[in-house]
Structure 1
Amino acid sequence: MKLLLDENLSDRIIPRIIDLYPSSKHVKTLKLTNTDDVIIWQYAKANGFVIVSKDSDFHQRSLLYGHPPKFIYLQVGNCPTSKIVQVLRDNFDTIIQFENRKSESILVFWTVRSFSLSRIFSGIGKAIA
Protein backbone atom coordinates (compact mmCIF):
# COMPACT_ATOMS: atom_id res chain seq x y z
CA MET A 1 0.00 0.00 0.00
CA LYS A 2 1.28 3.42 -0.97
CA LEU A 3 0.11 6.54 0.82
CA LEU A 4 0.39 10.01 -0.69
CA LEU A 5 0.47 12.62 2.06
CA ASP A 6 -0.92 16.03 1.19
CA GLU A 7 0.97 19.23 1.94
CA ASN A 8 -1.15 19.96 5.03
CA LEU A 9 0.66 17.05 6.70
CA SER A 10 4.33 17.10 7.63
CA ASP A 11 6.81 15.40 5.32
CA ARG A 12 8.50 14.12 8.51
CA ILE A 13 5.71 11.55 8.79
CA ILE A 14 7.00 9.44 5.89
CA PRO A 15 10.19 8.10 7.54
CA ARG A 16 8.12 7.14 10.58
CA ILE A 17 5.61 5.03 8.63
CA ILE A 18 7.64 3.73 5.68
CA ASP A 19 8.11 0.32 7.33
CA LEU A 20 4.33 -0.21 7.25
CA TYR A 21 3.56 1.69 4.05
CA PRO A 22 6.46 1.09 1.64
CA SER A 23 6.78 3.45 -1.34
CA SER A 24 4.65 6.09 0.38
CA LYS A 25 5.44 9.68 -0.57
CA HIS A 26 4.77 13.23 0.46
CA VAL A 27 3.69 15.74 -2.19
CA LYS A 28 6.78 17.78 -1.30
CA THR A 29 9.16 15.02 -2.45
CA LEU A 30 7.20 14.76 -5.71
CA LYS A 31 7.36 18.53 -6.23
CA LEU A 32 3.57 18.78 -6.03
CA THR A 33 3.33 21.40 -3.27
CA ASN A 34 1.16 24.40 -4.09
CA THR A 35 -0.41 22.28 -6.82
CA ASP A 36 -4.10 22.17 -7.62
CA ASP A 37 -5.87 19.28 -5.88
CA VAL A 38 -6.98 17.96 -9.28
CA ILE A 39 -3.33 17.36 -10.25
CA ILE A 40 -2.63 15.55 -6.97
CA TRP A 41 -5.80 13.48 -7.44
CA GLN A 42 -4.78 12.52 -10.99
CA TYR A 43 -1.23 11.68 -9.89
CA ALA A 44 -2.52 9.44 -7.09
CA LYS A 45 -4.96 7.74 -9.44
CA ALA A 46 -2.33 7.13 -12.14
CA ASN A 47 0.26 5.83 -9.68
CA GLY A 48 -1.80 3.70 -7.29
CA PHE A 49 -1.64 5.92 -4.20
CA VAL A 50 -4.16 6.37 -1.41
CA ILE A 51 -4.38 10.09 -0.60
CA VAL A 52 -4.08 11.10 3.07
CA SER A 53 -5.11 14.64 3.96
CA LYS A 54 -6.92 16.98 6.32
CA ASP A 55 -8.27 18.81 3.26
CA SER A 56 -12.05 18.79 2.88
CA ASP A 57 -11.63 19.40 -0.87
CA PHE A 58 -10.40 15.83 -1.30
CA HIS A 59 -13.36 14.65 0.75
CA GLN A 60 -15.74 16.46 -1.60
CA ARG A 61 -13.92 15.09 -4.65
CA SER A 62 -14.19 11.54 -3.26
CA LEU A 63 -17.92 11.97 -2.66
CA LEU A 64 -18.37 13.25 -6.20
CA TYR A 65 -16.12 10.87 -8.15
CA GLY A 66 -15.59 7.83 -5.93
CA HIS A 67 -12.35 5.93 -6.39
CA PRO A 68 -9.64 5.44 -7.47
CA PRO A 69 -7.86 6.95 -5.74
CA LYS A 70 -9.06 6.10 -2.29
CA PHE A 71 -8.93 8.82 0.34
CA ILE A 72 -8.09 8.82 4.05
CA TYR A 73 -9.60 11.90 5.65
CA LEU A 74 -7.93 12.97 8.90
CA GLN A 75 -10.32 15.10 10.93
CA VAL A 76 -7.94 15.39 13.83
CA GLY A 77 -7.70 19.14 14.18
CA ASN A 78 -4.47 20.93 14.87
CA CYS A 79 -2.30 18.21 16.38
CA PRO A 80 1.37 17.31 16.50
CA THR A 81 3.01 15.19 13.81
CA SER A 82 3.42 12.40 16.34
CA LYS A 83 -0.39 12.12 16.61
CA ILE A 84 -0.74 11.66 12.83
CA VAL A 85 2.00 9.02 12.92
CA GLN A 86 0.16 7.29 15.76
CA VAL A 87 -3.12 7.30 13.83
CA LEU A 88 -1.51 5.79 10.73
CA ARG A 89 0.47 3.19 12.68
CA ASP A 90 -2.24 2.19 15.17
CA ASN A 91 -4.83 1.77 12.41
CA PHE A 92 -2.68 -0.15 9.93
CA ASP A 93 -5.04 -3.16 9.81
CA THR A 94 -8.08 -0.93 9.30
CA ILE A 95 -6.31 0.96 6.51
CA ILE A 96 -5.31 -2.27 4.75
CA GLN A 97 -8.90 -3.56 5.00
CA PHE A 98 -10.14 -0.25 3.60
CA GLU A 99 -7.78 -0.50 0.63
CA ASN A 100 -9.01 -4.01 -0.15
CA ARG A 101 -12.72 -3.19 0.00
CA LYS A 102 -14.02 -2.49 -3.49
CA SER A 103 -17.06 -0.41 -2.54
CA GLU A 104 -15.45 2.10 -0.18
CA SER A 105 -13.82 5.35 -1.26
CA ILE A 106 -13.28 7.27 1.99
CA LEU A 107 -11.90 6.31 5.38
CA VAL A 108 -12.33 8.96 8.07
CA PHE A 109 -10.38 9.23 11.31
CA TRP A 110 -11.40 11.86 13.82
CA THR A 111 -10.72 12.92 17.37
CA VAL A 112 -13.37 13.45 19.99
CA ARG A 113 -12.51 16.29 22.35
CA SER A 114 -8.87 15.90 21.32
CA PHE A 115 -8.52 12.74 23.41
CA SER A 116 -9.99 9.67 21.76
CA LEU A 117 -9.69 8.52 18.19
CA SER A 118 -12.58 6.96 16.31
CA ARG A 119 -12.97 5.60 12.81
CA ILE A 120 -15.66 5.07 10.24
CA PHE A 121 -15.93 3.53 6.79
CA SER A 122 -17.95 5.38 4.22
CA GLY A 123 -19.06 3.44 1.16
CA ILE A 124 -19.48 5.56 -1.93
CA GLY A 125 -20.16 3.08 -4.71
CA LYS A 126 -18.53 2.75 -8.08
CA ALA A 127 -16.06 5.29 -9.35
CA ILE A 128 -17.03 7.61 -12.14
CA ALA A 129 -14.48 7.47 -14.94
Structure 2
Amino acid sequence: MGLDNSPDTTIWRYARRHGYDVLIKDEDFLRLVLSEGFPLRVGAVQNAQVPVVKLAEFLLTRLPQLREFLGAQTEFGMLLLRLG
Protein backbone atom coordinates (compact mmCIF):
# COMPACT_ATOMS: atom_id res chain seq x y z
CA MET A 1 0.00 0.00 0.00
CA GLY A 2 3.03 2.23 0.27
CA LEU A 3 2.09 3.65 3.68
CA ASP A 4 5.07 2.36 5.69
CA ASN A 5 6.43 5.78 6.62
CA SER A 6 3.18 7.72 6.41
CA PRO A 7 1.78 9.83 9.24
CA ASP A 8 -0.88 8.19 11.42
CA THR A 9 -3.60 10.44 10.01
CA THR A 10 -2.82 9.34 6.45
CA ILE A 11 -3.02 5.65 7.41
CA TRP A 12 -6.22 6.30 9.37
CA ARG A 13 -7.94 8.07 6.49
CA TYR A 14 -6.80 5.39 4.03
CA ALA A 15 -8.32 2.70 6.25
CA ARG A 16 -11.59 4.59 6.53
CA ARG A 17 -11.78 5.36 2.81
CA HIS A 18 -11.16 1.70 1.87
CA GLY A 19 -13.29 0.09 4.60
CA TYR A 20 -10.40 -1.49 6.52
CA ASP A 21 -10.46 -2.45 10.18
CA VAL A 22 -7.34 -1.43 12.08
CA LEU A 23 -5.21 -3.35 14.60
CA ILE A 24 -2.89 -0.97 16.42
CA LYS A 25 -0.24 -0.91 19.11
CA ASP A 26 0.37 2.81 18.89
CA GLU A 27 -1.58 4.91 21.38
CA ASP A 28 -1.45 7.88 19.00
CA PHE A 29 -4.10 6.10 16.95
CA LEU A 30 -6.41 6.08 19.97
CA ARG A 31 -6.39 9.88 19.88
CA LEU A 32 -7.56 9.68 16.28
CA VAL A 33 -10.68 7.81 17.43
CA LEU A 34 -11.69 10.96 19.28
CA SER A 35 -10.77 13.43 16.56
CA GLU A 36 -11.52 11.48 13.37
CA GLY A 37 -14.05 8.82 14.40
CA PHE A 38 -13.74 5.12 13.74
CA PRO A 39 -12.73 3.31 10.63
CA LEU A 40 -14.90 0.22 10.64
CA ARG A 41 -13.38 -1.21 13.84
CA VAL A 42 -10.22 -0.67 15.87
CA GLY A 43 -8.39 -3.34 17.84
CA ALA A 44 -5.86 -1.75 20.19
CA VAL A 45 -3.08 -3.61 22.02
CA GLN A 46 -1.79 -1.80 25.10
CA ASN A 47 1.73 -2.37 26.47
CA ALA A 48 2.79 -3.70 23.07
CA GLN A 49 6.31 -2.24 23.02
CA VAL A 50 7.75 -5.77 23.01
CA PRO A 51 9.64 -7.89 20.48
CA VAL A 52 7.57 -8.86 17.45
CA VAL A 53 7.68 -12.55 18.43
CA LYS A 54 6.07 -11.82 21.80
CA LEU A 55 3.42 -9.62 20.19
CA ALA A 56 2.65 -12.33 17.61
CA GLU A 57 2.32 -14.97 20.34
CA PHE A 58 -0.02 -12.70 22.29
CA LEU A 59 -2.20 -12.03 19.23
CA LEU A 60 -2.35 -15.74 18.40
CA THR A 61 -3.66 -16.51 21.89
CA ARG A 62 -6.34 -13.84 21.36
CA LEU A 63 -7.23 -14.99 17.84
CA PRO A 64 -10.73 -16.29 18.74
CA GLN A 65 -11.56 -12.95 20.39
CA LEU A 66 -10.15 -10.99 17.44
CA ARG A 67 -12.09 -13.10 14.93
CA GLU A 68 -15.33 -12.52 16.81
CA PHE A 69 -14.70 -8.78 17.03
CA LEU A 70 -13.62 -8.42 13.40
CA GLY A 71 -16.29 -10.82 12.11
CA ALA A 72 -19.91 -10.05 11.39
CA GLN A 73 -20.55 -8.01 14.55
CA THR A 74 -20.98 -4.27 14.03
CA GLU A 75 -22.18 -3.32 17.51
CA PHE A 76 -18.75 -2.48 18.92
CA GLY A 77 -16.14 -0.24 17.31
CA MET A 78 -13.19 -0.83 19.62
CA LEU A 79 -11.55 -3.83 21.25
CA LEU A 80 -8.87 -3.11 23.84
CA LEU A 81 -6.37 -5.87 24.58
CA ARG A 82 -3.76 -5.50 27.32
CA LEU A 83 -0.44 -7.29 26.93
CA GLY A 84 1.27 -8.14 30.22
The answer to whether the superposition gives a TM-score over 0.5 is yes
TM-score (norm 1): 0.54
The structure carrying a bigger strand percent of its residues is 1
Q: Secondary structure at the match of 2:65?
A: helix
CA distance in 2, matches of 1:84, 1:69: 23
Q: Structure 1 residue aligned with 2:63, among 92, 96, 109?
A: 92
8 A contact 1:37–1:58 mirrored in 2:
yes
Q: How many equivalent residue pairs?
A: 83
TM-score (norm 2): 0.76
* Structure with bigger RCO (C-alpha 8 Å, 6+ apart): 2
Q: Corresponding residue for 1:105?
A: 77
User: Does 2:33 correspond to 1:62?
Assistant: yes
Larger radius of gyration: 1
The structure carrying a bigger helix percent of its residues is 2
**RMSD of aligned C-alpha atoms?**
2.0
Report percent identity of matched pairs: 25
Q: Structure 1 unaligned segments of length 5 or more: list them.
A: 1-29, 113-129
Q: Structure 2 unaligned segments of length 5 or more: list them.
A: none
